Amino acid sequence: MQQPDRIIRLGIVLARSGLSRSTIYRKIAEGSFPAQIKISVHGAGWRESDINRWIEDPVSWRPRREEDEVR
């Protein structure tokens, strides 16, 4: 059985990626880091699976296409 994907907040992303906050947001704008998802009116987070994929191969990471996702 597959565990549900957790949503992680910026502090965890900073610690796990080793990047600074400004670098993360710059890389999001460039398309070379996973974008956050809105979880409330004033909150956002990242899918843990997206961050794990980026950590495994940051150089060749690309966003998933919708047809690549398993539902």
Mean of all residue pLDDT scores within the chain: 89
Cα distances (angstroms) measured from residue 4 to each of 29, 49, 66: 27, 10, 18
Residues linked to residue 49 through DSSP beta bridges, in sequence order: none
| pLDDT 10s digits, 7-19 | 999 999 999 999 9
Residue type, 14: L
Confidence at residue 68, expressed as pLDDT on a 0 to 100 scale: 55
Locate the domains of the chain by residue range.
7-59
Asked if 7 contacts 1 with a C-beta cutoff of 8 angstroms, the reply is no
Asked if 31 contacts 59 with a C-beta cutoff of 8 angstroms, the reply is no
User: Over 60: is that where the pLDDT of 62 sits?
Assistant: yes
Does the predicted model carry a pTM greater than 0.75? yes
CA 43 – CA 36 distance, rounded (Å): 10
